[in-house]
Amino acid sequence: MVAPKRVCIFVANNCTVDSRILRQAETFARAGHETIIVAVLVGDVEALEKRGGFEIRRVNAKHSWSEGYPRASKVLSPVRARIAKRNGDNPAPQPVLPRRNGPRIPARQWLRWIRTGKEPAPRSWPAAESSTMDRAAFAASMPLQKAGRVARAQRRRWGRRVGRFGRRRILRPTRYRQIERRMARAAIEFRADLYWANDVQTLRPAAAAARATGGRVVYDAHEVVWDVPTVSWFRQRVWALIERTQIPKMDRVYTVCDPIADLMASRYRISRPTVIINAPRLESTSAAPAHEDSPLNAYRKPGERIVLFHGYLAPWRGIEQLIAATALLPQEYRLVILGHGVFRATLEELAHRSRLDDRVTFIASVPPAELPSWVIGADVGTIPIQNRGRSFQYTTPNKLFECLHVGLPIVVNDLPEIRKVVNEVDFGIVTDCSDPAAIAKAIEDLLSDPDRYQQMRLRARAAAPRYSWERGEEAILSALEK
């Protein structure tokens, strides 16, 4: 039994409908640990939100030209971090004092302090018990710190020289670096025992916070960051570099499926990451209402059958092919697209041009706790995500297990991990979702045999305990153990 500790979870979105992150926080909070989520303030949300057992603290995402490079970092040097971690479970960070606080000590006193550890000590020393080797290593790191101070001073002087052109913007940190620093500051103030980084965008602030406070840090990789089709080639390379440089600093690594775990183990030569699937809690889905009581039925006309797509709306998710397939289906089929994203306006325009305004319905995202009651109201679920890059090829999205838990048969694209789950449970049809005609045929085939359809629903419900979040909670809580 682990004593109550403090846990800080990082996520690079506003954390309103991100089911995996919210379940992580619930797991730690239910185990008695003080838990916060450090997220990004985007959209119409509160900066501080309290939920059942944990808090969500959102940092400002706006770029500021007046927010420059800090003169004295609160992050400990590697030598001081190692000493602090050894001398205490969670020591307070010791910031570097400005030059004007105290006289500089001459070389003779430096040597005496390294040999004996007695006063006077350097201004930036954390005043902890240490060995001669620790003091010598700290003294050896001082020239590097001085070089960094000189370089920052030169950048400030150059910025003042630009005169009438104002601040030299290239010397200011980018928006992403500012967000990372704000997240790190919020986490350092909390002084957690465990920092949990979700996705590559939060690796650096989590590592910095752990370095400053001596806490543990883990990484939860949700995708193959060097092969994500929805971002530019340049961003893929940047993310790959960040992941490669930060993973050696992690105490443990988690991911979402076996192929990604194998890829990361071979690419970075680390121990195979622990796999935690994107499954919902069994207790939340078992409390879902009956099919007839679903709020989704409010959008159903008499005699209609609802084909559901739910999730983030973005390119390469197969939603365009799903809209085209709706035009090939009989009139009694209605496509409901439940979710949010930058691609929604494009999809609405596509439905309008296809003259499907009366057969395609768009619904805004609903809270994760309410989602099972909406999903259970559909007749067919769909996962038509396209085979573009290894991140999509090995995907195991939340919607796959959400449909399984409520007993909703699905039509999915022929991707290895999705096909594996669907075939094991036998609750859907695998087809080529790049072809709208194949999607339409699979939907009709799924609903053409009522007995087979009912058997699929029963098999999915029976398999829900095997694919539940509760099965991975023990591995999550073990991250607190040293």
Residues found in the chain: 482
CA atoms of 7 and 156, how far apart (whole Å): 37
Mean pLDDT of 282-298: 88
Residue where the block lists tokens 């004295």: 72
pLDDT at 77 over 60: no
Comparison of pLDDT for 78 and 378, the residue scoring more: 378
pLDDT of 114 reads: 78
Identify the CA nearest to 138 among candidates 147, 153, 156, 125: 125
Domain boundaries, the chain: 6-66+175-275, 92-171, 282-467
* pLDDT tens digits for range 20-31: 999 999 999 999
Model confidence at 97, pLDDT cuts 50, 70, 90, reads very low
* pLDDT tens digits for range 435-458: 999 999 999 999 999 999 999 999
Mean pLDDT of 341-361: 91
pLDDT at 418 over 90: yes
pLDDT of 165 reads: 45
pLDDT at 137 over 60: yes
Burial of 184 (0-12, 13-18, 19+ CB in 10 A): buried
* pLDDT tens digits for range 336-345: 999 988 889 9
Tell me the CATH class for 282-467: alpha beta
Contact assessment for residue 203 and residue 245, using Cβ atoms and an 8 Å cutoff: no
CA atoms of 168 and 185, how far apart (whole Å): 25
* pLDDT tens digits for range 250-273: 999 999 999 999 999 999 999 999
* pLDDT tens digits for range 384-407: 999 988 999 999 999 999 999 999
Side-by-side strand order, sheet with 194-198 = 48-51, 54-60, 34-41, 6-10, 194-198, 216-221, 252-255, 274-275
Q: For residue 303, what are the CA distances in angstroms to 157, 323, 355, 358, 379?
A: 74, 20, 21, 15, 12
Q: What is the pTM of this model?
A: 0.78
| Fold category of 6-66+175-275 in CATH | Rossmann fold (3.40.50)
Contact assessment for residue 334 and residue 301, using Cβ atoms and an 8 Å cutoff: yes
Alpha helices by DSSP H, 42-103: 78-87
Q: For residue 308, what are the CA distances in angstroms to 19, 269, 336, 370, 428?
A: 19, 41, 5, 16, 14
pLDDT of 100 reads: 34
Q: Which residues pair with 370 in a beta bridge?
A: none
Output the average pLDDT for the chain. 84
The Cβ of residue 86 has, within 10 Å, a number of other Cβ atoms equal to 14
pLDDT of 35 reads: 95
Model confidence at 67, pLDDT cuts 50, 70, 90, reads low
Same CATH fold, 282-467 and 6-66+175-275?
yes
Mean pLDDT of 28-44: 93
pLDDT of 99 reads: 38
* pLDDT tens digits for range 4-22: 899 999 999 999 888 999 9
Model confidence at 152, pLDDT cuts 50, 70, 90, reads low
